[in-house]
Amino acid sequence: MAAFLKRIFGMAPTREPDGEGYIPSPLGLRLGVDSKSGYRPADFGGRRYAGDRKIMVLCTEARYLAMTNGALFSTGHNVQETAVPLMHLTAAGFDFDVVTPTGAPAILEQWSVPKKDEAVLAFMQAHRAKFDAPLSLAALVTQGDLDERSVYAAVFVPGGHGAMVGLPDDANVGRLLRWVSASDRYLVAVCHGPAAFMATTQTGDGPHPYAGYALCAFPDSIDRKSPSIGYLPGALPWFQCEQLAQQGMQIVNTGANGATHVDRKLYTGDSPKACDALGKLVAEALLKDLAA
């Protein structure tokens, strides 16, 4: 009876048409996916970066996140959370490279596309090739490209539950994040992006480099409730805020209302609602820093 009622009220997770997983229920999509993003153009006072420093966009190449009940959530990176910060950064003159653990295509949640947002749709179409043919993080690490001469001024980890798959247990992601900290570069993440920070525990190099930092992230409390409306097809196997707190980080938000937080060169946001402000904050910081 409960399963029947969930179907009637649009609360049952939906089988994806082209795979073995589930996407959010109709109710989950209505509540969790915007038809238009919060993107609002900014001109940055006429300033535009003209140097060779870039943004590295770290993405997962894994599509499925297994729930505790065995159901597979068909995920990846949220399209709004990926596009909107990059729209501001590119408007400020910064180019970006997409990087995945092995160079396999980055996975985006196609069901998360804000279908009525022409600006986001046009941006993703223009840059689709970067996501389809990314660089390999393993190759960058092996080749010694992560040093003081690196062109990357910042690493950005978009949100979406996909950030919980393949990135947190990748030692090269851990090496990348330790390099970002040690070289005093910018680290940017939104929503579930901070889940990737757990990768530093894979390197065996001592305490988490961002222990003692404060950040915003998507709240565990909402993730725990998500199965009840069918956004997730079951309970998550672990929760990012809980794990990050155990590594010494402080989560400063309790909701998902668009909060951002800056702690030194760690820039974070809590949800899709935070992406417009987060992108502007990071662009302003980089324009100021790299103009010095």
Catalytic residue among 59, 191, 216, 241: 191
Q: How far is CA 31 from CA 11, 26, 27, 229, 258, in A?
A: 11, 9, 6, 9, 15
DSSP 58: E
AA identity, residue 35? S
**Residue 44, helix vs strand vs coil:** helix
Answer yes or no: are the C-beta atoms of 188 and 227 closer than 8 Å. no
Beta strands in 111-225 (DSSP E): 135-136, 152-157, 186-190, 214-215
Angle, alpha carbons 142-145-148 (nearest 5°): 135
Burial of 62 (0-12, 13-18, 19+ CB in 10 A): middle
User: Is 275 among the catalytic positions?
Assistant: no
For residues 84 and 276, what is the distance between their CA atoms, to the nearest angstrom? 6
What phi and psi, each to the nearest 5 degrees, are found at residue 43? -105, -5
Angle, alpha carbons 163-98-150 (nearest 5°): 110
Cα torsion 270, 273, 277, 279: sign: positive
Token pair for residue 158?
């978009």
* Residues acting as catalytic residues: 191
